[in-house]
Amino acid sequence: MFVVYRLNLYPDDPARDYVSALTSSPDPELSEGVFDRIDGLDPSKLSQVAPVVIRNDELPDLPESDAADGLIMLGQAGRWDGGGIYLAWMPLRKNLTPNPEEIWYYTGDRLSAFSARADRT
């Protein structure tokens, strides 16, 4: 199970933005509701996130992976300065904590639909 919550890194400075924190638990009942925080979301692309677990073989054009499942993240970032809506994906491996270094960002490019670099979106 994945849960995203808003985190204020600067509680003494209300002018600073919140960021999203992605958390996971293989079984919330067994872990008594304790979730592991997964750091590494790019706040310029994934400030507010809606996570969805998918079967990788059911969605074309994903990066190659040995993982059967993946996590699609639909994110929003920015405010009056432009911002936008972004799509990202990372592989999920059974019994392993997801690795944010494996996040791929949707580019919209027909020849290379995903990039490991957030600045290519």
Using DSSP bridges, classify how beta strands 84-92 and 114-115 pair: parallel, antiparallel or unpaired.
Answer: unpaired
Per residue in 25-61, pLDDT tens?
777 677 777 777 777 777 778 877 888 999 999 998 8
The 10 Å CB-count burial string (b at 16+, else e) for 14-38 is eeeeebbbbebbeeeeeeeeebeeb
Q: Where are the beta strands (DSSP E) in 10-103?
A: 19-24, 36-38, 48-55, 69-77, 84-92
Tokens describing residue 50: 């809606």
Is pLDDT above 80 for 106? yes
pLDDT band at 16 (very low <50, low <70, confident <90, very high): low
Taking the whole predicted model, whether its pTM rises above 0.75 is answered as yes
pLDDT of the residue at 80 = 56
pLDDT band at 104 (very low <50, low <70, confident <90, very high): very high
Q: Where are the domains positioned within the chain? A: 2-120
Name 48's bridge partners.
76
pLDDT of the residue at 25 = 76
